[in-house]
Amino acid sequence: MKTHPVSSRRTRALVERLLFLCLLPFVMSVPALHGCSARNDGDWVARAESANRDADRLLATGDTSGARAALVSAEASIRGAGNDERAVRLDLLYRLAEIDLGKSDTKSAVDWASRGLDLGRSNDTFTTNLLIVRGHAFERMGNAVAASRDYHDALVITETLLDKTLQGKTP
């Protein structure tokens, strides 16, 4: 079917105007978005720190369930995928794995640690902690191979960090 040249021109013009109208609000709203994101930036930090304080207090009274709940809630509330968010999430997951390991719930400890490691490994102390706590959980489960693998990976990272520390470099 042959398209009428006039209707084709009108369609093209309409598409161009629609594109323009779609882009315009985006550009106009960037400053507003920036303002909103700047305001919300620190919320997750405050929530995570508060959850850690609550967990410390509750663990001191023997309330592991309460501590666990506080840490789970804080971890779930972090949305960003930046390095800072990742570090805090890995630390929260390490604490959760450690609490469950302390309760001899080794499977749950492995799950928490694996969840953290699935967020992305790096040559940092947070990844190492998760590997160590998961290695201990695997060891208690009788999985010596998996435990050795995690211990080995943890040692490789720690040695790298120690080298940098001794050389005065920031990792």
Partner 1 sequence: MTPDDEEPTAEELEEAERLARALERGHAPGGVPEDALGAAALLRFSKDGGALEPERAERILEEALSRARPPVSKPRRRYTLLGLLGLAAAGAAAFLLVVKTQAPEAAALLPSPPRELLEAQLAAATAKDLDEQTAKNTALAALDDQTARYRGVLYATLRERYGR
Q: Which residues bind partner 1 (CB under 8 A)?
A: 5-6, 9, 12, 16, 19-20, 23-24, 26-27, 30-31, 33-34, 37-38, 41-42, 45-46, 48-49, 52, 56, 80, 82-84, 87-88, 91, 94, 98, 101, 122, 124-125, 128-129, 131-133, 135-136, 139, 147-148, 151, 154-155, 158-159, 161-162, 164-165, 170-171
Least distance (Å) between residue 49 CB and partner 1: 5
Residues 6+ apart with CB under 8 A from 84: 45
Amino acid of residue 80: G
Residues 6+ apart with CB under 8 A from 149: 135
SS3 category, 61: coil
Least distance (Å) between residue 111 CB and partner 1: 18
CB 124 within 8 A of CB 153: no
